[in-house]
Amino acid sequence: MSLKRFLFMPRTPLNHVLCGWAQAAAAIGDQWSILIVRDAFKGVKTFSAFQKSIGVSKGVLSRRLEHLVASGILAKAPVGLGASHSEYSLTPKGKALLPAMLALAQWSDKWVFGEGNEPYVVVDALNQAPVPPLEVRAQDGRRVELEDLTILPGPGCPKSEP
Amino acid sequence: MSLKRFLFMPRTPLNHVLCGWAQAAAAIGDQWSILIVRDAFKGVKTFSAFQKSIGVSKGVLSRRLEHLVASGILAKAPVGLGASHSEYSLTPKGKALLPAMLALAQWSDKWVFGEGNEPYVVVDALNQAPVPPLEVRAQDGRRVELEDLTILPGPGCPKSEP
DNA sequence: CAGTATCCTCGCAGATACTG
DNA sequence: CAGTATCTGCGAGGATACTG
């Protein structure tokens, strides 16, 4: 019988992995954070508004908001002087998630709900027209697909050899 | 004392929520799935290669792969006739995650690792040059920011009124 | 209203052993 | 090598009660 059976092996944390995707996963790689950021993009700011919109329990919401603030994606600021309550707003780092969030929305618009549907989630406010799908273009302007790209490991990412 | 204390309240599932972001979160909204998809983009195909690259335990990897196959992002196909082992490859639905994955990588390149660094994760194989950051453009071609957009609730998403 | 503290129940990740 | 089965224990997520 092995002694190791009684040693605890904690969940492998991702923060120490110096890989872009691991960092993104550590920041918003859970279901609640994505929905919180989505609501923040819509303009939701208060605790109760987040809770009503997402339907998550208060304890979980508190921890997720704390985590997003610690990650620099949201900023918590008291409103007024009485500090009766605070508001959460997107930082520049949080707003920079727009392309990623938009790409995720367009992906599910097309591949989860079906091609027949028109994209409806994000519209250009000026023209009231949907935003066309994001495209990946190289520096010379031509469209590139996955096959045209090389994914580098990046520091901290293991070099996986297929 | 309340009887409800003894009733189990399960974790709220996301699959039934008809919201694009909730669907995306349900599909790849956990840390391991993002890393698995990243490796699949790199060309990783076999079980052991995923495990060595990500460092996750076999049981977890088995379940995550199963989930990604069930979500239609990966396809599992036996290699050869002996069916000694199988390979996992990206479906079209999985390949369509490229803009979202790229946007996440570019976001962490800039905002987690710092602006000083040059993007290094994804390069155009033809020119050996990094892919420029994804930009959100309206139908008329002009660049749009978050403030120029209206985020619609979409079916199943609660209408949050800020 | 905006959280925090406490308690409770699984869910999920890790290790190990086992099968083909 | 490619998984599956089982065990274990933390900890995420839910409810409730409480504070300011």
Decide if pLDDT at A72 tops 80. yes
Give the per-residue pLDDT at A12.
Answer: 82
At A8, is the secondary structure helix, strand, or coil?
coil
Nucleotide nearest to B66 (CA to C1'): D3
Those residues whose C-beta lies under 8 Å from the C-beta of residue A16, and which sit 6 or more positions away, are A156
Within 13 Å of residue B32, how many CA atoms lie on the same side as its CB?
19
Report the mean per-residue pLDDT for chain B.
84
Decide if pLDDT at A74 tops 80. yes
Give the per-residue pLDDT at B11.
Answer: 85
Instruction: List, in order of start, the domains of chain B with CATH numbers.
Output: 3-148 (1.10.10.10)
Which one of A80-84, B2-6, B92-96, B158-162 scores highest in mean pLDDT? B92-96
- Chains A, B: CB pairs < 8 Å: 264
Mean pLDDT of the region B22-41: 91
Q: What are phi and psi of A14, to 5 degrees?
A: -105, -15
What crossing angle do the helices spanning B47-54 and B31-42 adopt, rounded to 10°? 120
Indicate yes or no: CB of A27 within 8 angstroms of CB of B108.
Answer: yes
d(CA A34, CA A48): 17
Q: By the CB < 8 Å criterion, does B111 face chain A?
A: yes
Nearest to A68 by CA among A105, A97, A106: A97
Start-end of H helices in chain B: 20-28, 31-42, 47-54, 58-70, 92-95, 98-111
Quote the minimal CA–CA distance from B78 to chain A in Å.
16
Measure B65 CA to C19 C1' (Å): 20
Q: Looking at chain A, which residue has its C-alpha nearest residue B153?
A: A121
pLDDT digits (tens, 9 = 90+) for A27-70: 998 889 999 999 999 999 999 999 999 989 999 999 999 999 99
Those residues whose C-beta lies under 8 Å from the C-beta of residue A109, and which sit 6 or more positions away, are A117, A119, A120, A121, B20
**Structural contact between residues B19 and B12, judged by C-beta atoms closer than 8 angstroms:** no
**Structural contact between residues A43 and B162, judged by C-beta atoms closer than 8 angstroms:** yes
Mean pLDDT of the region B131-145: 92
Quote the minimal CA–CA distance from B54 to chain A in Å.
8
Decide if pLDDT at B1 tops 50. no
Cβ of A159 near strand D (under 7 Å)? The reply is no
Give the gyration radius of chain B's Cα atoms: 20
Cβ of B66 near strand D (under 7 Å)? The reply is yes
Decide if pLDDT at B114 tops 50. yes
pLDDT digits (tens, 9 = 90+) for A117-150: 665 677 788 888 889 999 999 999 999 999 999 8
Distances (CA, A) of B162 to A40, A89, B159: 10, 12, 10
Indicate yes or no: CB of A99 within 8 angstroms of CB of B134.
Answer: yes
Q: B122 to chain A: which residues are within 8 Å by CB?
A: 149-152
Indicate yes or no: CB of A152 within 8 angstroms of CB of B31.
Answer: no
By percentage, how much of chain B surpasses pLDDT 90?
Answer: 49
Give the per-residue pLDDT at B162.
Answer: 40
Tokens of B56: 């996750």
pTM equals 0.91
Decide if pLDDT at B126 tops 90. no
Give the per-residue pLDDT at B81.
Answer: 64
Mean pLDDT of the region B7-15: 77
